[in-house]
Amino acid sequence: MFVDHVKIYIKAGDGGNGAVAFHREKYVSAGGPDGGDGGHGGNIVFRVDEGTNTLLAFRYKHKFIAQNGGNGKGSKFHGATADDLIIMVPPGTLIRDAETEKVIHDMSENDGADYIACKGGRGGWGNRHFATPTRQVPMFAKSGTKGQEKEVILELKMLADVGLIGYPSVGKSSILARISAAKPKIADYHFTTLSPNLGVVRTKGERGFVAADIPGLIEGAADGAGLGHAFLRHVDRCRLLLHVVDISCFEGRDPVDDIQKINHELARYSPELATRPQIILANKHDSLDPELVDVGAFERYVRENGWTLLYISAITGEGIAEMIELVAERLAELPPMRVYEQEYAPEDAYVGGGKETIIRRENNTFFVEGEWLVNLVGQVNFEDYESLNFFQRVLQRSGVFEALEAKGCKDGDTVSIYDFEFDYVK
């Protein structure tokens, strides 16, 4: 079964709690605090698995939770830092936010480098960090922060340079089998191909390319007819489209009408996709009957649209070598494969979703509280300029500043968000 669109829940591990402990040994009656820190929680990390081309592994498993960090112990023992949870995905997988469907990350970016989708919580400090000359016996420690969590959609958009498109039974799978080592299922009936097939095509020198047989495109595909709606997303990254038609017209089809209808479906799905360069492959040329096809009208239509036309036969091999060479030349001139830009900003994770914020006023000091703020403060490095800017953007977008002003906060008043205090400036 081919699976290319799934929703999963991911959660990084929570940080371990700091320990409340005091040094105890023979002849030392009153040792100082020595509670160890908690360990960091494990991250959720996505990694590309080059050997897969489907999301089938996620069909029955939808929850991925990393381990929590270990709690600190006495004698300054640090809690164990949890291992990251690695989630393997096929090349070309997009990670989207489940609520907004914005792109969080494209796993083809940076040649498929690992991506940390959820960061583990920080370990809390043991009580030894809170000892001062006036507080020599601190009876408290800091709890670890919670790991990030979210629901995401995994969407597979195959990494193919070339897409073979066209009606069923025009010979797309036969062409792919002829030009590559791929072994797609081939039979003499419609919808033989039930999932996209990839093949690596070798050319002279080092100009190889990856071709994909995209199944099921028929009239109405953009509305879900046939199999085309499910697989149109796999054409998105293709830099060049090989539009295959059956020039033998064995089934009584009109190649001009077929090209028009398929391109109409492409345009309805994505206007940008319809502008991709195309090469028209008139397949089954070995069976061409001039009495059934107006070849002159067909060639005139292709020429008027500015496309290149090649007559080929996947059965006899006619025109296949010329096609491979032409495709390699065209790809060398075209821009690189599309990489999807990030649409989901990091601060989006803290905005909306019914997060409760409580504001208390004591004289000219405003205390801002909320569980989501505990996690936010625990993940911000207040000594780093960029991290502080991120913190400010989250407060702005989540309406904290607006709520403070509604409570009477003005310039110069003190705002306290757990362990962090600052003077409010509008």
* Residue 195, pLDDT score: 66
| Residue 383 CB coordination number (10 Å) | 7
Check whether 239 has a pLDDT greater than 90. Answer: yes
pLDDT average, residue stretch 123-136: 88
Alpha carbon separation from 285 to 279, 314, 319 (Å, rounded) = 16, 9, 10
pLDDT tens digits, one per residue of 212-225: 888 766 655 445 54
pLDDT tens digits, one per residue of 242-277: 999 999 887 778 899 999 988 988 888 888 888 999
- Gyration radius of the chain's alpha carbons: 30
* Residue 266, pLDDT score: 85
pLDDT band at 2 (very low <50, low <70, confident <90, very high): low
CA-closest candidate to residue 281, choices 245, 322, 330, 256: 245
pLDDT band at 354 (very low <50, low <70, confident <90, very high): low
pLDDT band at 205 (very low <50, low <70, confident <90, very high): low
Half-sphere exposure of 174 (CA within 13 A, CB side): 23
- Which residue, chain included where needed, has tokens 């400036």? 425
Q: How far is CA 91 from the centre of its chain?
A: 10
pLDDT tens digits, one per residue of 94-110: 999 998 999 999 999 88
Alpha carbon separation from 293 to 134, 171, 182, 302, 311 (Å, rounded) = 98, 18, 32, 14, 14
CA-closest candidate to residue 119, choices 9, 8, 11: 11
pLDDT tens digits, one per residue of 297-321: 999 999 999 999 999 999 999 999 9
CA-closest candidate to residue 38, choices 122, 159, 127, 156: 122
pTM of the model: 0.80
- Which residue, chain included where needed, has tokens 């999301």? 55
Q: Are 152 and 96 in contact (CB under 8 A)?
A: yes
pLDDT average, residue stretch 181-194: 52
Q: Are 379 and 122 in contact (CB under 8 A)?
A: yes
For residues 355 and 369, what is the distance between their CA atoms, to the nearest angstrom?
A: 11
Residue ranges of alpha helices (H) inside 148-270 are 172-179, 228-231, 255-269
CA-closest candidate to residue 14, choices 135, 140, 144: 144
Check whether 38 has a pLDDT greater than 50. Answer: yes
Alpha carbon separation from 260 to 219, 243, 246, 398 (Å, rounded) = 10, 11, 14, 49
For residues 243 and 8, what is the distance between their CA atoms, to the nearest angstrom?
A: 35
Q: Are 205 and 292 in contact (CB under 8 A)?
A: no
**Mean confidence (pLDDT) of the chain:** 86
pLDDT band at 291 (very low <50, low <70, confident <90, very high): confident
Question: What letters, b where the CB count within 10 A reaches 16 and e where it falls short, cover 81-100?
Answer: bbebbebebbbbbbbbbeee
For residues 175 and 234, what is the distance between their CA atoms, to the nearest angstrom?
A: 18
Check whether 4 has a pLDDT greater than 90. Answer: no
Strands (E), 108-223: 115-118, 149-156, 162-165, 197-201, 209-213
What residues contact residue 158 under an 8 Å CB cut-off, 6+ apart?
53, 91, 92, 196, 198, 212, 234, 237
Nearest 5°: CA angle at 241, between 329 and 165? Answer: 140
Q: Which two structure tokens, joined as six digits, stand for 59?
A: 């069909």
pLDDT average, residue stretch 165-189: 75
- Which residue, chain included where needed, has tokens 């002003």? 405
For residues 80 and 137, what is the distance between their CA atoms, to the nearest angstrom?
A: 25
Q: Provide the β-strand partners of residue 93.
A: 156
Q: Classify residue 63 by its DSSP letter.
A: E
* Residue 223, pLDDT score: 55
* Range of weakest confidence among 4-18, 187-201, 270-284, 371-385: 187-201
Residue 199: burial class (beta carbons within 10 Å; 0-12, 13-18, 19+): buried
CA-closest candidate to residue 208, choices 152, 160, 142: 160
* Residue 316, pLDDT score: 93
* Residue 82, pLDDT score: 97
pLDDT band at 19 (very low <50, low <70, confident <90, very high): very high
Sign of the alpha-carbon torsion through 244, 249, 252, 255: positive
Q: Are 314 and 320 in contact (CB under 8 A)?
A: yes
